[in-house]
Structure 1
Amino acid sequence: MSTMDKQALMIYNSFSGKKSAHKAFPILLKKLEEIGYQLTIHQTKELTSIGNPIKKACQDRWDAIFIAGGDGTINQTLQFLAEEPFRPTVGVFPFGTSNEFAQYLGMSGNVFQALSVIENGFTKPIDIGKFGNHYFANIAAAGWLSDITYKTSRSLKSSLGEWAYVLYFLKTFLLTKQSDTISIDVSPNKVISNLSLFLIMNGNSVGPFESLIKNSTHNDGYFHLLTCKKTNRLQLLFSLLAKKFNLTKNSSIINHTKIKSGCFILPETIALNLDGEKAQVKSLQFEVLPQHLQVFSLG
């Protein structure tokens, strides 16, 4: 298709990930135009509540919203997009450091693979999460070690990529104390307490820990909840490695359940991490929004 008959918004974060990856951006724009998209480009710094381009694209019922950036850029876009009654199909181009959401969609860090998916028009609906008044696409976390993604310096991420997270993880793991305890009310009859860390995941992986959840199903109205009991460093490290390499089926430290809603009790000293970004929320009530987004996806 050569005629420009499809309207699309491009949200671009020129500061995300490794600088070298951004050389592909002009090629990306040219290819999208060849596919048939008439693009309106906005930088992430332009995403304010006044005159927001995402809201305009939704209200004018544009065909697509493309996001060229990392998980933080996706999360920033989602805060405006998820509120709208009409939401254009979302296409993600992985320019970030870890690109967790792109991997969840089956596009592991490859911009040109994403282009191929969009050209072929492969789409599917996906679930997203809501925590208080904020939305997230892939991961919500709080507690010890959960601040690594937003405390790792931008310059380190730009030069080292995902290795920057590994270095900060090791530093935090070895030199910091575990946080105050967290409790989660997951049903009227079930409370999980004495936790140092929790992860809510749309998919089954986070960072270097791939396939943490075996036989995972997606978009079934449930997210995965991984909880970590407060324990010493060595026990936690062994449990993480055992989980990663499937060495033991039962762990008294790290546990998994599936949830579609829950109420979280966090001490004031603990911040919430949504898609790798620090978030301030009005309440700690979590819920899954089933099939809330239509996305270009390989899987």
Structure 2
Amino acid sequence: MEKKRILFIVNPFAGTSSKHNISDQIHKFLDQEKYDCQIKFTGYPQHGHEIALQAVKDGIDIIIANGGDGTVNEVASAIVGSNSTFGIIPGGSGNGFSMHLGLGRSFQKAMKAINDGKIITIDTCKLNDSFYVNVAGFGFDARIAFLTKANKERGFTHYFTTTLKESKKFKAEHLKLDIDGKVIEGNFAAAVVANASRYGYSFTIAPTAQLTDGVLDIILIKEASVPRYFLSAYRFFNKTLHLSSLTEAHQGKRIKITSPNPVYYHLDGEGFEAINEFTVEIVPKSLKLIIPSDTDVK
């Protein structure tokens, strides 16, 4: 049997732990009879995207991202619509998409999936001119993502302390959403457009979201006092946020979001400068993805 060509794209700066021996670990656990392996390291933002684009052009069969949700986005967005198959080794701080796939933070589970898992074809999302695979957010959560991106510190503690600090300046955003022709307008702490269910750190933002259902899940977090948000935080962990009186849940295939004031946004946890207008669309069955053989991911 001819070996498949597999490329591992490693972000050495992701997460809080060192990746100095990651190459040895990959070679140790990879099925060498099945794969012809290459490993490349990223050196700067969007380098993973560049490497993956070239790998697609070169006809690499399987492209694996090792890093956090930002690395996942860089690599996956380059593979959308191609013949290459995408996979993940979790190596970041939050690892939201990995959590949704049932990989958790486990290197060994990810390598087992690569060796003998299964391949499904999932939906992706397009926000203006950029693709994402997990979650996009607009408003307060995106502001936190933007601020933490600018800081070299990583991990939940930094994310949490930034949230506490910024909550003192909290102000809801006035958003107008057109969801497949249905218009919703009001003041919201955040709007989330999800393809999968998880933020990082096991926060479940869209419990009903599925990667293969052909629709986007929209969670609107209503304007309220900061203490009410903190009192409802437990819903992120018991997967009931969509049932809270603080939220509205919708589904759609195309969403246009506008605001009179510029709004911060994030793609798969990577924060970006505020702008006024966004269009999000589902791109059905556009990415081949490796998942564990014993996981029923939808």
Match of 1:102 among 82, 98, 101: 98
1:134 corresponds to 2:127 = no
Structure 2 length normalisation: TM-score? 0.84
Alignment match, 2:153: 156
Alignment match, 2:246: 253
Superposition deviation, residue 133 in structure 1:
0.1
CA 1:92–1:27 in 2, change beyond 3 Å: closer, same or farther? same
Deviations 1:151-173 (A, max 9, x none): 2265431xxx3232222222222
For residues 244 and 176 of structure 1, what CA distance do their matches in structure 2 show? 25
CA 1:261–1:60 in 2, change beyond 3 Å: closer, same or farther? same
Between structures 1 and 2, the one with greater strand share = 2
For residues 222 and 183 of structure 1, what CA distance do their matches in structure 2 show? 20
Superposition deviation, residue 240 in structure 1:
4.0
1:15 corresponds to 2:13 = yes
Long gaps (5+) in structure 2: none
| 1:9 partner amino acid | L
For residues 268 and 30 of structure 2, what CA distance do their matches in structure 1 show? 26
CA 1:188–1:17 in 2, change beyond 3 Å: closer, same or farther? same
Alignment match, 2:39: 41
- Contact 2:52–2:79 (8 Å) recurs in 1: yes
Deviations 1:173-213 (A, max 9, x none): 2x222143222111323324222311122222323564454
Alignment match, 2:108: 112
Long gaps (5+) in structure 1: none
For residues 23 and 13 of structure 1, what CA distance do their matches in structure 2 show? 13
Identity of aligned residues (%): 22
Query: How many aligned positions are there?
Result: 290
Aligned Cα RMSD in Å? 3.0
Structure 1 length normalisation: TM-score? 0.84
For residues 246 and 199 of structure 1, what CA distance do their matches in structure 2 show? 15
- My pick for the range that moved more, 242-251 or 194-203, is 242-251
Map residues 75-94 of structure 1 onto 2, 5 A cutoff: 75-82=73-80, 85-94=81-90
CA 1:191–1:33 in 2, change beyond 3 Å: closer, same or farther? same
Map residues 210-229 of structure 1 onto 2, 5 A cutoff: 210-214=203-207, 216-229=209-222
Superposition deviation, residue 14 in structure 1:
0.3
Match of 2:183 among 177, 185, 190: 190
1:286 corresponds to 2:272 = no
